[in-house]
Amino acid sequence: MRVEIWSDIACPWCYVGKARFEKALAAFPHRDDVEVVHRSFELDPGRAKGDAGPVIPMLAKKYGMSEAQAQAAEDNVGAQAAAEGLEYRNRGRDHGNTFDMHRLLHFAKEQGRQDQLVQIFYRANFAEERSVFTEGDERLVELAVEAGLDADAARKVLADPDAYAADVRADEREAAQLGASGVPFFVLDRKYGVSGAQPAEVFAQALAQAWGERSPLTLIDQGQGDADACGPDGCAVPQH
Amino acid sequence: MRVEIWSDIACPWCYVGKARFEKALAAFPHRDDVEVVHRSFELDPGRAKGDAGPVIPMLAKKYGMSEAQAQAAEDNVGAQAAAEGLEYRNRGRDHGNTFDMHRLLHFAKEQGRQDQLVQIFYRANFAEERSVFTEGDERLVELAVEAGLDADAARKVLADPDAYAADVRADEREAAQLGASGVPFFVLDRKYGVSGAQPAEVFAQALAQAWGERSPLTLIDQGQGDADACGPDGCAVPQH
């Protein structure tokens, strides 16, 4: 079974929602048969690389609230993160463009290190004082290395803005096609969706339901029967 | 809609089946909304890199037939390829390990050049006199460049046996899970399967059927309603 998680590193509910999903997954009897894939979704794709700003004034402006109210909202997210056992630095967090992080996450997928890197990016963005947006490529390279990736390879990905860009864009197009307008957005076997940082119980139910309804493929052959194919024992010898 | 095609470059029916599928796709009204993805399947994964041999004696030995009979079978495949407008060199073809080609195809996917490279590999293997198995990495680099990939990047992928290896293995595990024991194997939206180089009409029917039954995701929220999420307009302010 495959679970695809659309999310953004800049999205606090994605950080919290992933922990809730993982709690449900850890208790799921068939967890070893569940493949989890990260999918890209940018909350702020129009922002320029390196352009970052503090979160509180941005929230205040966006919602027409005072900075004190915005801080209270951020404190509340922090409390919910803490309830999931996650570190959350609810003072001084900044926000910015995450495109390069998504490109690196696709590179990490190729290397079998995607889940490690997602978690490291979240922790760096939400729990550490240093910015992931303003310290240039080397900050991301450092985090990539922590996830087990090669520094030079990560550097090369970052230096080439086209590297893995098509993957990020494809994920974003798919999110729109699947009806996801916000994240986190969880898709189970392309059949069930879970939108938002739902409680772990909802993820548990979704996993059980999707697992119970796994269906084998329906083969279409229009009465032609076995067609010409090759397998480990060789290729069909044409009868035509 | 997504069509995944499990195949091997060493599989003549994959070469023929892809052409038949593409004929159906070209006539499909929603063809621009169909994403085609190549998936890896190795017919002969145990064979060492660089170890290759002529096809005819291999076929004769495998099926306990004379070399003349094996040649007749190969001629027949060639005739079917020709019927699809494909070049096919039915004398002197060799066979070998395709793992490196599959790794390169995953790299090409990241660069948006996968379909080009599949086609170039097929043509090189089935229509050209030069071997894709015995001339070393530079032969594959040359073909990768023809598909629009960077020579040094392709060289680097080939030099590192771990690069994209996990992707190839993951595809092969998925093929087994989906019940594919031979290739080509076409999977439409993980719902319908078409096994083998079926006639174009079968692919046309499969496309129409899968398209007609596209279903939106069923959202699971256990009565919790909208959960905390972030979108382009910002993040939900916690109400809890």
Helix or strand holding residue B83 (H, E): helix B67-83
Give the ranges where chain A is alpha helix by DSSP (H).
12-26, 55-63, 67-83, 99-110, 114-127, 137-146, 151-159, 165-177, 200-212
Name which of B224, B238, B240 is nearest A202 (Cβ-Cβ).
B224
* Exposed e or buried b per residue across B78-108, where buried means at least 16 C-beta atoms within 10 angstroms of its C-beta: bebbeebebebebeebbbbbbbbbbbbbbbb
Q: What is the ipTM of this complex?
A: 0.78
Residues in A touching B220 (Cβ below 8 Å): 192-194, 202, 205-206, 209
State yes or no: cis peptide before B184, omega within 30 of 0.
Answer: yes
Name residue, tokens 């060492």.
B48
> What is the reported pLDDT for B237?
65
Tell me the mean pLDDT in the region B33-53: 91
pLDDT at A240 over 70: no
Helix or strand holding residue B126 (H, E): helix B114-127
Residues in B touching A202 (Cβ below 8 Å): 220-222, 224, 227
> What is the reported pLDDT for B107?
93
User: Which tokens go with A231?
Assistant: 């397998």
* Residues of chain A numbered 127-156 and touching chain B (CB < 8 Å): none
For residue range B59-86, what is the model confidence (pLDDT) as tens digits?
A: 888 888 899 999 999 999 999 999 999 9
Residues in B touching A164 (Cβ below 8 Å): 110
Tell me the mean pLDDT in the region A76-98: 94
Interchain CB contact of A196 with B (< 8 Å)? yes
Tell me the mean pLDDT in the region A59-79: 91
Q: Crossing angle of helices B67-83/B55-63, nearest 10°?
A: 110
> What is the reported pLDDT for A225?
64
Spatial distance between the Cα atoms of A200 and A238, rounded to a whole number of angstroms? 54
Residues in A touching B187 (Cβ below 8 Å): 217
Spatial distance between the Cα atoms of A118 and A109, rounded to a whole number of angstroms? 10
For residue range A114-160, what is the model confidence (pLDDT) as tens digits?
A: 999 999 999 999 999 999 999 999 999 999 999 999 999 999 999 99
CA distances from A22 to A14, A15, A202 (A): 12, 11, 12
For residue range A22-58, what is the model confidence (pLDDT) as tens digits?
A: 999 999 999 988 989 999 999 988 888 888 999 999 8
Higher pLDDT, A226 or B20: B20
Tell me the mean pLDDT in the region B196-211: 95
> What is the reported pLDDT for B240?
41
> Which CATH class, in words, describes the domain spanning B2-52+96-212?
alpha beta
Q: Do the Cβ atoms of A106 and B111 come within 8 Å?
A: no
Residues in A touching B179 (Cβ below 8 Å): 216-217
User: Which tokens go with B197?
Assistant: 């180089």
> Is residue B69 classed exposed, middle or buried when 0-12, 13-18 and 19+ CB atoms within 10 A define those classes?
middle
> What is the reported pLDDT for B239?
45
* Residues of chain B numbered 166-195 and touching chain A (CB < 8 Å): 166-167, 170, 178-179, 181-185, 187, 189-195
Interchain CB contact of A106 with B (< 8 Å)? yes
Q: Do the Cβ atoms of B13 and A77 come within 8 Å?
A: no
In chain B, DSSP assigns E strands to 2-7, 35-40, 52-54, 94-96, 185-188, 192-195, 218-219, 230-231, 234-235
> What is the reported pLDDT for B224?
62
Top-confidence range, A30-39, A223-232, B223-232: A30-39
Helix or strand holding residue A37 (H, E): strand A35-40
Residues in B touching A196 (Cβ below 8 Å): 226-229, 236
Beta strands B234-235 and A192-195: pairing type?
A: unpaired
User: Which tokens go with B159?
Assistant: 């030099």
> What is the reported pLDDT for A128?
96
* Exposed e or buried b per residue across A180-209, where buried means at least 16 C-beta atoms within 10 angstroms of its C-beta: bebbbbbbbbbbbbbbbbbbbebbbbbbee
Interchain CB contact of A240 with B (< 8 Å)? yes
Spatial distance between the Cα atoms of A196 and B235, rounded to a whole number of angstroms? 10
**Helix, strand, coil percentages in chain B from 3-state DSSP, rounded to 5:** 50, 15, 40
- Assign B135 to helix, strand or coil: coil
Tell me the mean pLDDT in the region B135-150: 97
In B51-174, DSSP assigns E strands to 52-54, 94-96
Residues in B touching A162 (Cβ below 8 Å): 111
> What is the reported pLDDT for B217?
83
Residue B63 CB contacts under 8 Å (≥ 6 apart), including other chains: A234, A237, B69, B70
Q: Domain extents for chain A?
A: 2-52+96-212
Q: How many interchain CB pairs under 8 A, A with B?
A: 222
User: How many percent of chain B have pLDDT more than 70?
Assistant: 96
B95 forms beta bridges with B53
Interchain CB contact of A116 with B (< 8 Å)? no
Chain B nearest-CA residue for A41: B231
Mean of the per-residue pLDDT values of chain A? 92
- Assign A41 to helix, strand or coil: coil
Taking the CA of residue B94 and the nearest CA in chain A, the distance in Å comes to 14
Spatial distance between the Cα atoms of A32 and A208, rounded to a whole number of angstroms? 14
Q: Do the Cβ atoms of B199 and A224 come within 8 Å?
A: yes
